[in-house]
Amino acid sequence: MRSRVVAGGGLTWPATPPQLYKVGSEAFCEVNRRVLLGRAVGDALAFEVRYFEVAPGGWTSFEQHEHPHAVLVLAGRGVVRLPDGSQPIAPFDVVYVAPGEPHQFRADAAERLGILCIVDAERDRPVLVPE
């Protein structure tokens, strides 16, 4: 694919349709994602840039995997659950999730949480962590 701009309309990126976060799982609530850059959309990159939107009061699955990832909060407020406990997160906070460590993102009840997640293009599958 050639160089390009993925035009945003706020935090919507109209040319990039939202996808279900995960299919066939009840381990999350009210989450969708957009792959903005990466092999999945034809880019010659060793990583993917994905945007996740968690609805007010929603959450991602509590999971772990062997690949690290970096997360930048772009919108809303919430908490990230990590091995050392839950920490509040707000716009422009950056979270590093280390390999093998359980994690989960939760939106506050009153607002959507928008996070940009950068991961390796080739990575292992997440494993749900029992509550």
Is 29 noted as a catalytic residue in this protein? no
Distances (CA, A) of 77 to 6, 19, 58, 105, 126: 25, 22, 12, 10, 24
SS3 of 41, please? helix
Q: Name the burial class of residue 44, with classes exposed (0-12), middle (13-18) and buried (19+) by CB atoms within 10 angstroms of its CB.
A: exposed
Instruction: Given the residues 31, 73, 116, 117, select the one marked as catalytic.
Output: 117
Which residues are designated catalytic?
117
